[in-house]
Structures are given as structure tokens and as C-alpha cells.
Amino acid sequence: MLFNRSGSAISTIANILASPIEYLKGVGPLRADMLRKELNIFTFKDLLEHFPIRHIDKTKVNPIKDINAFTDYIQVVGRLVHYEIIGTGRSRRLIAQVKDASGQLELTWFQGISWVEKNLHIGSDYLIFGKTGFFNSKPQMVHPEIEVFVPAKAGAKAFLEPVYPSTEKLKARGLNGRQLAKLTYALMQLLQPKDLPENLPDYLVHELKLLPRFESYAAIHFPATDLLYRKALERLKFEEFFIAQVRLQLVRLQRSNASQGVVFGKVGNYFNDFYNKYLPFELTGAQKRVLKEIRTDTARGRQMNRLLQGDVGSGKTMVALLSMLLAADNGFQSCLMAPTEILAQQHYTGLKELLKEMPLEIALLTGSTKTAERKRILKGLIEDTIHFVVGTHAIIEEVVQFKHLGLVIVDEQHRFGVAQRARLWEKATVPPHVLVMTATPIPRTLAMTAYGDLEYSVMDELPPGRIPITTVQRNEMARANVMGFVKEEIQKGRQAYFIYPLIEESEKLSYEDLMQGYEQVKSFFPEPQYRISMVHGKQPADQKETNMERFVKGDTQIMVSTTVIEVGVNVPNASVMVIESAEKFGLSQLHQLRGRVGRGSEKSFCILLTGSRASKEAKERINIMCATNDGFKIAEKDLEMRGPGDIEGTRQSGALNFKLASIVNDKGLLELAKEKAESLVEKDLYLEQEAHQSLKNFMQSQKLKQGWSKIS
């Protein structure tokens, strides 16, 4: 699809790298079986891409006496003086003693004992590499890598020896990191530059002074120097990022070029009247900038597919509304989709209030909309008498037909596939513009890789006058104090949230937790002086709504809830949030929850109650929460701590499957790759230029292989 213009066939020259691993000299059926099972190495290519974790300088042999408490991995040469097998069952082990001129070292094996024994000969010298430890204050290595020592031949080409990740099972069968190095060495001997042809455009290789591809593979495994290794690593990481970015940019620009879009050519009365008469505040610089981006995007005659990320409370809703007014000015309807009924209701109420003096029809459509009302709305939408519809997305997607739908806004949704959503609306001949608003920021590098095929806007500025939320951590033992503090706030006329974790494995447990919590809160805040709302996932929608509404109106001062509350709820008078078992929440979730307070003119507080058994990571999360209110910083930390695969809601896209590169550790390289990919794609959208043929061929072959591996 990416190359549809020329549609060139893919050459299927038999590729040595596709050879099954058992055909490599030194492998054979048994080892091949183990390599497949333990390391997922099926082909020559897989072995080539089994990269070393470090290199050791084989020429460097350390005296045993140098081993001390600070030694990590070390290489020594020692003569075997003794070994024995002792213990039984699980503690059965082979213990060997080796000696050099400076001292003695103990080696221990718990697994593969018979294999090790077979290969040990008293009086022989061994080259030994491993992680050191101390046992009874004597230096020791468990499961070292060991081979017969052969003094380096004079004039032999020196290189750093790679050490590969292996598994205990493989090590026990003699396929340790060193043996893998031998196999990889054998493989490199078979390969020629033509087997690993350059795939980056020559001009880039020159401009960035990148190591050529073949040399890079050679040097990442067997570098002559450390510098060469780093050059190789850099080049291969760049290649990974670059190719992923080219792919994303091709998708983005080709889609944008191919898709027609409705044209929002003018700013008219709806927008201007609202802006001049009813806008309750001055827009922030970020809001203005994003509106400008949307305005430009929607006027081009191409479909907009934009991701809007802003921190909690940055004012995304107003951007949404102003965009909807822009649509209306151009004769188009808009819909705003929210993930929950509560949120849809709230958006509807808020927008209706803002628009009350405007000659615009706005409707709310959710699962609990009554039949007659629903009929009226559906009719109004198909007849174009309703301008805006707000609702839960499931409802809107399923049943609604519009006469002139021009804009779809999806709120608070980085939890599900942005692109799917966008595609859904491509069914129409001229698709509406799509604006997806995330609940909390996404780290920049993640946005670039996981959502790189969308345009995106960032709102990195909060409305002025916000008083920062103070966040503290308290132990459960301090509960009485915490309750006392909440009481003071309520007596000042404020409202409070108590949030309980959703225990994923058990809805029942979560429910019980919540009920217990509710009783506890009630005992501190007895009726009728205090009134409490409770909202949870098991409630029928209307009950949820009533409870919510009472809290929004201030009829109840306390909201006890599970995380159903987290998305977007806006009660500016609420100034305290107590999060129970805070150690059970993820960072972005905590941040989102906390964003429910600090929305009004009063100072707000977030109290993270933790049990005594919080893990180290949990403690770090809590510390981060106490240290900053900045959602962008928190998102970065979250990514650092969890890695890209685990970030909630990110697409499980191939775009994140990097073998060497890391979006956490190689940010600079990613930026560079993105910049280069963008300028390439802008120049040559269908990769037709001569300079891009090798890249195109490579990308096509990559695609093909991915397809096959899925089938097999």
C-alpha cells in the first residue's frame, strides 16, 4: 500500500540469512533445537540479530588476587587443581578450584554437572569469565564461562570478544555466551557485503558519517576497538529509528494527500460571536496555537487526523468547543465522544451552559437516553437541525447518521486505538476531521513512535492563576489525622474525594474494598451533618448519574469512588483527594486522578495513603507524585520506569519493536531519525528517486517477512 504508485515486484533472491540455523557449521539438529526453544533463533538472521550484551578484551587477563568486593565481571586464567561433586538433590554441585600465580578461585556449577565434569582436566589451564562473588570471604564464581586457554597467537587480529545473553539451560549444554560468539563468528565468515546491502540512502550515510551496514554488523559483534563498536551500534540504532519513521511519515503524508477532507474555509459568526461575547476567559497561548493548527489543518481540503495532548486541566474542552463552532460556521455538524456516561453528561451540561445564548442546537446521546428523545435526536442529526451531539462513543458510532458531519472529537482516549477510530469515519465519501484528545500527556518520544502517523498538538501551558496542588504521602496509621484534615476542608465549604483502587483480578474484591471504605468514611463523617455520594462500576447508570450530580451540585460533600471517576470530571469546589492504597496505582493514573482537584480558586491537596508493603517502584512513583504536578514530566518518568511496552493505551504497534534502539535512552538519535525521515518523505512521497531504491526494497522485504512470520 505504501508503494502503490510504482508497484514494483519484490525480488526473491535466495537469501543466505534466511537459512535455517541448523545449517550453520557447529550447530546441528540438537543445538538448533535448543537455540530455537531458548533464544528464538530460527535462522542465520536471527543469530545475526542476537546482539552481544558486552564485549570483553580477550587480551586482558586479570590476576585472581585482583578480585575484590567491587569486582563485577572479570576474566582470569587459572590452572585446575581440584574438583569434586558434593551435596544431593537441589544442593548437588560441582566445585572446582583454579589457581594462578596470585591466588585461588572457586568455581561452582549447580546445573549441567556431568557435562562440565567431562570437560574438566586437572592440570589444564582455563580461560574463565564470569561474575564474581564472595563465599566464606573467598572469591567465587557460579556458572562461569570456561574454555581451555590457548595463548593468543602472535599477529592474530585482535578484537573485543562479544558476550551474548544466554540461558541457564543453554549454558548447561555448553552453549554459553562464548559458544554463541563462536557460532556468530562462523556466520560472519560466511557473509559478504552483498548479503547485508546498504539500505540507507548514500547521501545520509555520508552526511551523518554512518558506518556502512555490513561493517556495522561485523563491528557490533566483533569490533576491533570500542570506538568502532559504538559507531556500529549508533548506525544500527539509527537505522531502526529511521526506517520506522519513514514508514510512519509515509503513512501520514500519503493518507493526508489521498484523503479528501471537508473544507472549513472561513471563520464565521458562530465562532466570532462566541469568542467576543461569551468566552469566559482569555485563551492561553497554547490554546491559541493549537486552534491555529486546527484551523490550518481543516482548511486544506484534506482530512485532519490530529492528536491533541495536554496536561490535565490545560483546557482541552474549550479547544474542542471552538473547533466545533468553526465547523458550524462552515455548515458542518460535530460530535464529541466521551468514554463514560458521566463525562458525556458533564460535557453536555458544560457546553450547553456556554452556548445558552447562541442559536445552536446541542444534544446528548448516551445509553440511558430515553427512546422518544433518542428518536428526536437521530432525526435532528439526519435532518441537520442539530449542530452538536455529545455522547458516549459506542452509541454514536453504532447508530448515528449525520447529514453533514464535519468534525469528530474523541475525548480522553489514549486508551484505545486512535487510528482505528480515525478509520471508522473514513467510510463516508468525504470523511470528517478527527481530533483525539488524550487525558494526560504522552512522552514525546513515545508519541513520535507510537503515534507518528498522526499530526499532533501539544498544550503545555495551564490557564493562569492555578494554585499548585500539594501532594503528600501518609501511612495508613495516620488515617485519623487525614480524616481530621479532610473535615477541616469540608467545614470551610469544600468537597472531597476518596478513591479506591480497582483490583483488576477481582471485581468482587474491589467492590468489598470500596464498601468497607465507604463504611469507614461514613463513621468519620456521620449523616446528616455530612452527605456522601458513592460511584462505582457496578452501579446502574442512572444511579451513578444521580450520585455524581449530587456531588457536582454540592448536595454531597464527599465522593467515594473507584477509578471510574478519573476521566475528566470537573468539580472546581473539590479541594481534597484521598487516594487509598496509592501504591496500587500507576503513575499516569495517579496524575489523572489528582487532576480532579486543583480546578477551582482554592488551594487543593492530594493525600496518598499507602500500606506498609509498598514496593520500591511504588515508593518511587509516590515520590514523583509528591515532587511534581507536571504531567509531561510524570509521563517521561512513567516511560522510564515501565518501558514503552507497558504504557497504558499505547498501540501494540510494530513501531515500538526495536531490537537495539530505545526510545528512553536514545532520544537524540530518534529526533535525528525523525527529522531525516520527514525531509526524505517530503521530497519523495512514493520513494521513486534512485537514491531511495535500496531503502524501498528493504522496507518491502521487511514487510513481506513480517507477513510470513505471522502465517507460520
Q: Which residues bind Mg ion (CB under 5 A)?
A: 568
CB of 440 to ligand ADP, least distance (A): 9
Rounded to a whole number of angstroms, the minimum distance from the CB of residue 317 to Mg ion is 5
Number of H helices, E strands in the chain: 24, 21
With respect to ligand ADP, which residue has the nearer C-beta, 41 or 567? 567
d(CA 197, CA 590): 48
Residue 417 touches which member of Mg ion, ligand ADP, none, C-beta under 5-8 Å by kind: none
Please check whether residue 427 is in contact with residue 397, taking contact to mean a CB–CB distance below 8 angstroms. no
Tell me the pairing of strands 104-109 and 93-99: antiparallel
Q: Between 305 and 438, whose beta carbon lies closer to Mg ion?
A: 438
Q: E strand or H helix at 252, and its extent? A: helix 226-258
Q: CB neighbours of 344 closer than 8 A, spacing ≥ 6?
A: 337, 338, 364, 366, 390, 391, 392
Tell me, rounded to whole angstroms, the distance of Cα 637 from its chain centroid.
11
**Is-contact 185 222, C-beta < 8 A?**
yes
Nearer to Mg ion, 247 or 347 (CB): 347
CB of 412 to Mg ion, least distance (A): 6
Closest of 37, 48, 39, 44 to residue 19, by C-alpha: 44
* Contacted by 593, from ligand ADP, Mg ion, none: CB < 5 to 8 Å by type: none
Q: Which amino acid is at 329?
A: D
Partner from Mg ion, ligand ADP, none binding residue 244, C-beta < 5-8 Å depending on class: none
- Binding partner selected for residue 366 from Mg ion, ligand ADP, none, CB under the kind-specific 5 to 8 Å limit: none
Q: How far is the CB of 441 from Mg ion (least distance, A)?
A: 13
Q: Which does 312 bind (CB under 5 to 8 A by kind): ligand ADP, Mg ion, none?
A: ligand ADP
Instruction: Give least dist CB 443 to ligand ADP, A.
Output: 18
287: partner contacted, choices Mg ion, ligand ADP, none (Cβ within 5-8 A by kind)? ligand ADP
Find residue 532's DSSP bridge partners.
558
Q: What end-to-end distance do the CA atoms of the chain give, in Å?
A: 22
Residue 528 preceded by cis peptide, ω within 30: yes
Report, in Å, the least distance between residue 407 CB and Mg ion.
Answer: 17
Tell me the residue type at 655.
Answer: A
Phi, psi torsion values for 100, nearest 5 degrees:
-125, -170
We find the least distance from the C-beta atom of residue 11 to ligand ADP, in angstroms, to be 51
Q: Report the C-alpha gap between 376 and 380 in whole angstroms.
A: 6
458 binds, among Mg ion, ligand ADP, none (CB under 5 to 8 A by kind): none
Cα–Cα distance list, 150 to 82, 120, 216, 223 (Å)? 20, 15, 28, 21
Minimum CB distance to ligand ADP, residue 358 (Å): 17
Report the interhelical angle of 616-627 vs 631-642 (nearest 10°): 170
**CB under 5 to 8 A by kind: which of Mg ion, ligand ADP, none does 284 bind?**
ligand ADP
- In Å, the largest CA–CA distance within the chain is 97
Residue 406 or 568: the one with the smaller Cβ distance to Mg ion is 568
Least spacing, CB of residue 581 vs ligand ADP, in Å? 25
CB nearer to Mg ion: pick between 210 and 319: 319
C-beta closer to Mg ion: residue 375 or 415: 415
Classify the phi-psi angles of 495: left when phi > 0, otherwise alpha if psi is within -120 to 50, otherwise beta: beta
Helix (H, G, I), strand (E, B) or coil at 500: coil
Looking at the Cβ atoms of 339 and 568, the one nearer to Mg ion is 568
What proportions of the chain, in percent to the nearest 5, are helix, strand and coil? 45, 20, 35
Q: Helix, strand or coil for residue 143?
A: coil
Q: Is the Cβ of residue 207 or residue 282 nearer to ligand ADP in the bound state?
A: 282
Q: Would you call 202 exposed, middle or buried from its count of C-beta atoms within 10 A (0-12, 13-18, 19+)?
A: exposed
Q: How far is the CB of 279 from ligand ADP (least distance, A)?
A: 9
Pairing mode, if any, of strands 532-535 and 388-392? unpaired
Q: CA torsion angle for 198, 199, 201, 204 (degrees, to 10)?
A: -80
What are residue 133's phi and psi, to 5 degrees? -150, 175
Q: Do the Cβ atoms of 443 and 639 come closer than 8 Å?
A: yes
Closest approach, Cβ 318 to ligand ADP, in A, equals: 5
Antiparallel, parallel or unpaired: β 125-135 and 138-142: antiparallel
Binding site for ligand ADP (CB under 6 A): 281-284, 287, 310, 312-318, 463, 568, 570, 599
> Residue with the closest Cβ to Mg ion?
568
Q: For ligand ADP, which is the closer residue by CB, 184 or 317?
A: 317
**Least distance in Å: CB of 387 to Mg ion?**
21
Least distance from ligand ADP to the Cβ atom of residue 319, Å: 8
Closer to Mg ion by CB, 405 or 569: give it.
Answer: 569
Nearer to ligand ADP, 221 or 594 (CB): 594
The option from Mg ion, ligand ADP, none interacting with 134 (CB < 5 to 8 A, set by class) reads none
441 makes contact, choosing from Mg ion, ligand ADP, none, with CB < 5 to 8 Å by partner type, with none
What secondary structure does DSSP assign to 100-119, as a single string?
Answer: -SS-EEEEEESSSHHHHHHH
| Cβ contact 344:397 at 8 Å | no
Toward Mg ion, which CB reaches closer, 347 or 621? 347
281 binds, among Mg ion, ligand ADP, none (CB under 5 to 8 A by kind): ligand ADP
Binder of residue 133, out of Mg ion, ligand ADP, none (CB less than 5 to 8 A by kind): none
Residue 283 binds: one of Mg ion, ligand ADP, none (C-beta under 5 to 8 A by kind) = ligand ADP
Q: Which is nearer to ligand ADP, 43 or 309 (CB)?
A: 309
Give the helix ranges, DSSP H, for 40-112. Answer: 44-48
Minimal CB distance to ligand ADP: which residue?
315
